[in-house]
Each structure stands twice: as C-alpha cells, then as structure tokens.
Amino acid sequence: MPHFYLTAHCRVDELLALRKQINEAAPRKVSVNDFVVKAAAQALIDVPEANAVWGGDHIRRFDTADIAVAVSTDGGLLTPVVRGIESLSLSALSETISEMAGRAREGRLKQHELEGGSFSISNLGMYGVDEFSAILNPPQSGILAVGAATQQPVVIDGGLGVGTVMTVTLSADHRVVDGALGARWLQAFKTRIEHPLTILI
C-alpha cells in the first residue's frame, strides 16, 4: 500500500507526574502505554476522517475507536483489538489491555479478537528504543510507533532546560489518510499527551 511517515516529539513531563499521582492513589497501576492508547483513541474521535480503512474501491469509516495493541509473545507478534476505547476509563482500558496481553502470551486469544479496528499501537519504549517506524497492519490505515520517554535538552520560555521527550511516528495509508489529515491526527494526539488531564475527561 502507498504509505508515508510523520514524526512528532511529545513532552511528557506532565503525563508522568499525573501517572505518578494516579498510581499513588488508585488500586490498579496504569502505564504510559495506557495513556498512549487512550490518547490515540481520543484523537481518532477528534479527527474522525482518520478513523477509517481502505476497502478496495471505497473508504470505510468507523464511529468507535477500536485499536490493535501490539503484544510480543514467544510465538511472535500479536495485535489484539481493544474495542470502544473512547467509552472506557483509563483504569478499565489498562485492565483490558493487561488481560488481553496475558491471553495473547498464553495463546488463548480468539480469532475475532485479532480482527477489525482501524489503527494499531506499537510501543518499544520499554526496550530502550528511542524512535522507529512501524509496519502497517492491513487493512488498517494507521499505526503509531512509540519510543522511550527520555530526558533531553528542551527550550523553555526562551531558555535551555531539561525535559522528558517521547518520540512517536505515525505510519499511514495514503489512500485513506493523506499528509494533511495525518498531521491533524498527530497534532490531536500530541495535544492530548502533552495535556494529560484531557485524557481523563
């Protein structure tokens, strides 16, 4: 498929601080990846034209944010689809991802749980990978590759400081998502990530 890549650098200091507060009070710990998946789903709702797939001779659009989350298993990579993410709380999403990932590693996923959705998330940050480009998962039209959140020099109010930056790269099917639309989706995602309270609202 004709595809292209867009990359953004996201400041995640506020997200990490909010995650710490949540995990100090909540019975269930949430991960950075939980925030990423939720923000991606919200961006699909914010930019509904990007929530679509190529159907051969037509574009099929979706009303719900159904996202495949890449899980590494002994038998290779699996991508179970979490459905209706826009209606899940962050803690419910975290529990669902954890449960599906566990069943993926145990070989207990059902075929229908690996099908559908318009988008995927592949996160290699936990392996120390700073930045990468992910392969599209047909017929989905987008996949977000997520790197590690690392401390880097950043410009703050005209001065040099230290901030925590996470690099993400969107791979998109140009038949469904052109450059301008991909940029709009990536900006919506970045806005959510850099203003993490909007993820919880």
- DSSP strand E in 133-158: where? 142-156
What pLDDT, on a 0 to 100 scale, did the predictor assign at position 79? 95
The range of the structural domain enclosing residue 27 comes to 3-200
Tell me, what's the pLDDT at 31?
96
Stated as kind and residue range, the H or E segment containing 67 is strand 67-69
Domain count along the chain? 1
pLDDT of the residue at 17: 97
Q: Which helix (H) or strand (E) holds 6?
A: strand 3-11
Q: Give me the pLDDT at residue 201, please.
A: 86
Residue 177 contacts residue 185 (beta carbons within 8 Å)? yes
Instruction: Walk along the chain (201 residues) and give the pLDDT tens digit of each residue.
Output: 889 999 999 999 999 999 999 999 988 899 999 999 999 999 999 999 999 999 989 999 999 999 999 999 998 999 999 999 999 999 999 999 999 999 999 999 999 999 999 999 999 999 999 999 999 999 999 999 999 999 999 988 889 999 999 999 999 999 999 999 999 999 999 999 999 999 998
CATH number at residue 184: 3.30.559.10
At 168, list the tokens.
Answer: 């993400």
Burial class (CB within 10 angstroms; exposed 0-12, middle 13-18, buried 19+) of 8: middle
pLDDT of 157 reads 86
Please identify every residue annotated as catalytic.
174
pLDDT at 26: 85
Please choose, from the candidates 90, 92, 84, the residue with its C-alpha nearest in 3D space to the C-alpha of residue 66: 84
pLDDT, residue 156, reads: 84
Q: Which residues are bridge partners to 54 per DSSP?
A: 59
